[in-house]
Amino acid sequence: MPLEEWRHITMRSSEFVHSYQDQVDNDDNENYAQFLVNFNEVRAFHSNFRRDVPDPSAKYEGAILANMLAPILTRWWTVGLAASCTFDYYLQLFHVTQTTINIYSSVSRANKIASALYSLMLDQENFIDLSLIRSFHKRHVNKHLDWLQLSDDLTEALGFQAHNMAVRYYIMDYDHRNILTGRSMPDYLEAVDKAPREDSKWHMDKLKTFVSSSHANLHKHFSRWVGYSLLPVALMSESSTAKVVAAVMLGLPMPTDAELGDVVYCQGSQNTYFHSNVNSDCGRINMKGLYKFLQEKFQQNDDDTFIPMALYATHLLRNDNDLRNKECDLEASVHGEFYLSYTALTCHLHVKQNS
């Protein structure tokens, strides 16, 4: 439908949702009466639907009056945003479908789309699946994609964070392994709680399968960063994490707290933590956990060897040379050659680096 018509209808639907109470049809309109029955059913799916009325003159991103970002299945970011938008404005969109059915002829494309969407939205299982996608997006994907898109550490260039990818891989893995602890996805859990009790196990098994599959894909795509070819680039991560990487590369024990430097030892947990400036969104990094993770993942990789320049860089680092230092002669030193070779790699690298 034309954009202005769409905005008019969504505005009227927003007003309906905002002012709605448990209504009963009094004018013998069977179609409207059935809509109210269905609307009350959908309204019971969740307590966190938005009910505000937007400013009709506003065109701010994410509001119901703006165009939804098209969900492209190969781009998880767009799928998550679309799921979140649909979740937030579920009641308004459900009302929009009924309005569209009422004003467009049954043979029109708008009516056919609205009729199909009405049936899909009335199915509670579809809503629960939508809640799963939205919840996973908010709990896990959103913050890591934000980091990938916004970090310009060292290189001062977005998208060139290869030196931080091994550490970020560990953070993402740790985050993934704790997704199912407690009630860390409350919107999904509420959606399941409001479903028939006999379906609860099915929906929770679905969540476990979803998370397990996603975790497997994380390792499939990120394991390249902890092999012989690309692990050396992490020697240019922050000093404390770089020293852990060097120990893994050389087959040495976990560095001591004194060697790591800027770390905090938590006596109660027997763990050493590092407060990362680069990965500040994750809180703190468990250094023993990072060492164990890199060691295990590195041993699972191929039987190749490190190039001489990479091994030399580990010794520079262990002798307290800062590989992040851009003040040295980058054109005429091994340090400079290492820096220039690896900072040029993009963080979405899809091919094996052999030089």
User: In the numeric block, which tokens belong to residue 355?
Assistant: 């030089």
- Give the SS3 label for residue 264: strand
Looking at residue 80, its pLDDT comes to 92
Looking at residue 34, its pLDDT comes to 92
Q: At residue 287, what is the residue type?
A: M
- Give the SS3 label for residue 158: coil
Looking at residue 31, its pLDDT comes to 86
- Give the SS3 label for residue 61: coil
CB 194 within 8 A of CB 46: yes
Q: Side-chain half-sphere of 19: how many Cα atoms within 13 Å?
A: 6
165-177 and 200-222 helices, crossing angle to 10°: 170
| Cα-Cα end-to-end distance for the chain | 55
Among 83, 97, 76, 95, smallest CA distance to 20 is for: 95
Looking at residue 98, its pLDDT comes to 97
Looking at residue 352, its pLDDT comes to 39
37 burial via Cβ count (<10 Å: 0-12, 13-18, 19+): exposed
- pLDDT string in tens for the chain (355-residue length): 888 898 899 999 999 999 998 766 556 678 888 999 999 999 999 999 999 998 888 776 667 888 788 899 888 889 999 999 999 999 999 999 999 999 999 999 999 999 999 999 999 999 999 999 999 999 999 999 999 989 999 999 999 999 999 999 999 999 999 998 878 899 999 999 999 999 999 999 999 999 999 999 999 999 999 999 999 999 999 999 999 999 999 999 999 888 888 888 776 667 889 999 999 998 899 999 999 999 999 976 666 789 889 998 998 888 888 888 877 655 557 778 888 888 888 987 644 333 3
Write the DSSP symbol of residue 183: T
- Contacts of residue 85, Cβ cutoff 8 Å, sequence gap at least 6: 62, 64, 68, 69
d(CA 223, CA 208): 22
Q: Side-chain half-sphere of 101: how many Cα atoms within 13 Å?
A: 17
